[in-house]
Amino acid sequence: MDMCGERPTPGLLLRLGILLTAVCVFIHLYLDSGWRGAPTPQGLGTPPQRYRKPGQHGRMKQASADSEERDRSVKGRVAYVRTLKKESPAKKGSEDREDPSPHHPHRKVPRWRIDLEPWASESHSLEDEAKRFLNYITTPQVSCSSFIGTDAVQRGSAGDWALCLDPMYSLVHRMQSKHCRVYSFGLGVYDRSLEASLATSGCEVHCFDPSLKQPHLQQAHMWLHRLSVDWRDPNPAAVAQHQYTTTRKLATILNNFGHREVDVLKADMESAEWKILENLILEDVLESVGQLLVELHLHWAGFEVSGDDPAVVRYWFSLLRELERAGFLLFHVHSDPKKPRVFLHKSILNASSAYTLSWVNTRWRTDRN
Ligand SMILES: *[C@@H]1O[C@H](CO)[C@@H](O)[C@H](O)[C@H]1NC(C)=O
């Protein structure tokens, strides 16, 4: 009965009135026989009884508390509604997720959120959260006997972006057998010296730069792509309208390129790294990655990260702990001393606004190719 935009004629109104009356009478009779209570006008158009809110049953119960039998029947229905609610899959908002296997290593069930670590202290203070987090990101978990990285590494000091060439891990062997693949994500102009040296040492290097003029370009032994990584794929409607979008989830990029493994994933995402890491963890994409290099930005919470300051730091910490549980161990950390000392808009514990971290995936298997 779409009457929008048309002026209803008296004839139509009359027919509509008769129809509505018939519906009301029918519902009245139905409710009366089933409930013998007083059906309210809301009865019209509301969903069937068992989907009603318990509050509405309460009101009806009050209206006529004549027979105990009826009362029991109402209770039965309320219980049914409650059971339905309990069993509904939408467990949104429950802090303590009751996952039967929260740390199962080969989980294939899709997850909606990461596991939050306990607070650093009873007081939930920013100071305690920051202390735990900063201590965590500045303490390497495995040692690496040999690095390759940006210029500073070659000059002998620990540079910012560093890869581990320890023969313990597969990267050095994969470079020798020319089977290594590198993905490098950055926004805008950035130093590609590490990528260039990997390209000349036998790696297939893909640099992702959304500001490129053309979709793909081969330059200095590297591939450049007009793409960027995001934590969600573009809205299909936007894709349909603009034909070309420059952001994809990493899983989508891997799929589109037909790549199952990436030996090195390097990303400087200017505060989008938290949601991107979360996406990689929730979708188990990290098991395709051998070494992970990420610049963390701490001067603010980051894109789509919410909560008060202690909650933000706890979330950051929880994300990195998820990495560790996925087999990623930290082997290098660097912070440029020239960067401002700003942590969540404050000066706290002399923390820097940016740290570059390198992890090696200790569970990485390259025999899947
Ligand atoms: C803060 O850190 C910077 C860089 O590491 C260092 O040069 C400076 O001395 C530190 N300041 C204090 C007060 O510790």
Task: For residue 337, give the ligand 1 atom closest to its CA.
Answer: 4
Q: How far apart are CA 318 and CA 312, in angstroms?
A: 10
pLDDT at 205 over 90: yes
Q: Whose CA is nearest to atom 10 of ligand 1?
A: 350
Q: Say if strands 262-268 and 228-230 run parallel, antiparallel, or are unpaired.
A: unpaired
pLDDT at 307 over 60: yes
Least confident segment among 98-112, 160-174, 293-307: 98-112
338 lines ligand 1 (CB under 6 A): no
- Cβ–Cβ < 8 Å for 72, 100: no
What's the CATH code, domain 126-361?
3.40.50
- Cβ–Cβ < 8 Å for 60, 66: no
Which is more confident, 59 or 225? 225
88 lines ligand 1 (CB under 6 A): no
pLDDT at 91 over 70: no
Output the pLDDT for position 315: 97
Q: How far apart are CA 164 and CA 143, in angstroms?
A: 9
For the chain, strand residue ranges (E) read 147-149, 162-164, 180-186, 203-208, 216-219, 222-225, 228-230, 247-249, 262-268, 289-297, 328-334, 354-361
> pTM surpassing 0.75?
no
Tell me the mean pLDDT in the region 344-353: 96
| Residue 350, strand partner residues | none
Structure tokens at 162: 């560093």
337 lines ligand 1 (CB under 6 A): yes
369 lines ligand 1 (CB under 6 A): no
188 lines ligand 1 (CB under 6 A): no
Q: Whose CA is nearest to atom 8 of ligand 1?
A: 350
Output the pLDDT for position 39: 38
Pick from 31, 95, 104: which is nearest to 314 by CA?
A: 95
Domain with CATH 3.40.50 in the chain: 126-361
Which is more confident, 84 or 143? 143
Q: What pLDDT band is residue 10 in, cutting at 50, 70 and 90? A: low
Q: Whose CA is nearest to atom 3 of ligand 1?
A: 337
pLDDT at 261 over 70: yes
Pick from 270, 271, 225, 223: which is nearest to 250 by CA?
A: 225
pLDDT at 8 over 80: no
Structure tokens at 199: 């390209």
**Dist. CA 186 → ligand 1 center (Å):** 28
How far is C-alpha 221 from the geometric centre of its chain's CA atoms?
Answer: 33
Structure tokens at 327: 């087999």
Q: Whose CA is nearest to atom 5 of ligand 1?
A: 337
Q: What pLDDT band is residue 44 in, cutting at 50, 70 and 90? A: very low
Output the pLDDT for position 47: 37
Output the pLDDT for position 212: 87
Name the residue of 137, 160, 341 to mutate for ligand 1: max ligand atoms within 8 A of Cβ: 341
pLDDT at 277 over 60: yes
Output the pLDDT for position 25: 61
- Cβ–Cβ < 8 Å for 331, 144: yes
218 lines ligand 1 (CB under 6 A): no
Sign of CA dihedral 224, 226, 227, 233: negative
**Dist. CA 133 → ligand 1 center (Å):** 18
pLDDT at 54 over 80: no
